[in-house]
Amino acid sequence: MSQKVLLNSKEVNIALHRLACQLIENHDDFSDTVLIGIQPRGRFLADRLAQILSKDYKIKNVQLGLLDITFFRDDFRRGQKPLEANTTIIDFIVEDKNVVFIDDVLYTGRSIRSALTAIQSFGRPKNVELLTLIDRRFSRHLPIQPNYRGRQVDAIDNQRVKVNWVENEGEDAVYLIDK
């Protein structure tokens, strides 16, 4: 199994700041915008972006939630092992808000479809956007595209994109791994 570095720590940091700036351009003071990290892997990206917006760009009142999509997936009964649900934490109203879903890698689009279904339990957003650190082109099963992307990657089916976060794996890096 071989791996190639797609983004090192410095490049991840640059991408995060660029994504934060794009969000500010489109959402100004975030008074009508909420960020929602898709559990489990979108949590780290969402947390980091919320910190950058608050600390580096002085955006006040960035609302951040976490959404578990485990039982909204169309494939949740297909695995051999029992699924473990993550926590959903949304302590604000999404009704008539601009919702920005945040996930680390966009692959088939099925997670995002599940998130669209799951968010309806919390109200009807005015608008929904998608932010991903990595956009795997040519692998979509559904017609879903990100509004914001850190990097676009062309990967074939026998390759996997792995995003490491310092909070979880001890480093910020993105790898392309041959299975």
Structure tokens at 150: 């850190």
Q: Which of 54, 38, 37 is nearest to 110 (CA)?
A: 38
Q: Write out residues in the chain with pLDDT < 70, as ranges.
A: 74-83
Full-model pTM: 0.93
Angle between helices 9-27 and 42-51 (to 10 degrees): 70
Q: How far apart are CA 12 and CA 86, in angstroms?
A: 25
pLDDT, tens digit (0-9, with 9 covering 90-100), for 136-156 = 988 889 999 999 999 999 988
